[in-house]
């Protein structure tokens, strides 16, 4: 049972553009929704996270939009840069564990 569905699998964006990655979850017990960024050969790094009582959270160029009724959330990367090229994972957290989406490979062309 895939509890977190992430789309798209891959995304190509031009430098300066907006990257948008979407996730949908099934488990209403999730009370924490993080986004992680992973570069090849590295472990995932926490990028930004949100709790379900908040509809939006912004940190620099990264914004999470959260829709509790639709059980969906998304990551927006403004002014995307080549250095943002990485794999991004969304997750849902509850009961001491994180459940992840399958990941989105983002490529930002210069």
Partner 1 sequence: KAGVTQTPRYLIKTRGQQVTLSCSPISGHRSVSWYQQTPGQGLQFLFEYFSETQRNKGNFPGRFSGRQFSNSRSEMNVSTLELGDSALYLCASSFSASGGNEQFFGPGTRLTVL
35: its two tokens? 């986004």
Cβ at position 103, least distance to partner 1 in Å: 6
Q: How far apart are CA 6 and CA 90, in angstroms?
A: 7
Sites of contact with partner 1 (CB under 8 A): 31-32, 34, 36, 41-46, 49, 89, 93-103
Report the nearest approach of partner 1 to the CB of residue 46 (Å). Answer: 6
Pairwise CA distance, residues 60 & 15, whole Å: 17
CA-CA distance, 8 to 20, in Å (whole number)?
A: 9
Residue closer to partner 1 by CB (options 20, 49) is: 49
- Measured from the CB atom, the residue of 17 and 49 that comes closer to partner 1 is 49
């Amino acid at each position: 049972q895939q509890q977190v569905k992430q789309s798209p699998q891959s995304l190509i964006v031009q430098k300066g553009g907006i990257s948008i990655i979407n996730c949908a979850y099934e488990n209403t017990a999730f009370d924490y929704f993080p986004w992680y960024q992973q570069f090849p050969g590295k472990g995932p790094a926490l990028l930004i996270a949100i709790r379900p009582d908040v509809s939006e959270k912004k940190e620099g160029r990264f914004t999470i939009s959260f829709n509790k009724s639709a059980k969906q959330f998304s990551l927006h990367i403004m002014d995307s840069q080549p250095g943002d090229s990485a794999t991004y994972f969304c997750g849902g957290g509850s009961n001491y564990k994180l459940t992840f989406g399958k990941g989105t490979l983002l490529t930002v062309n210069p």
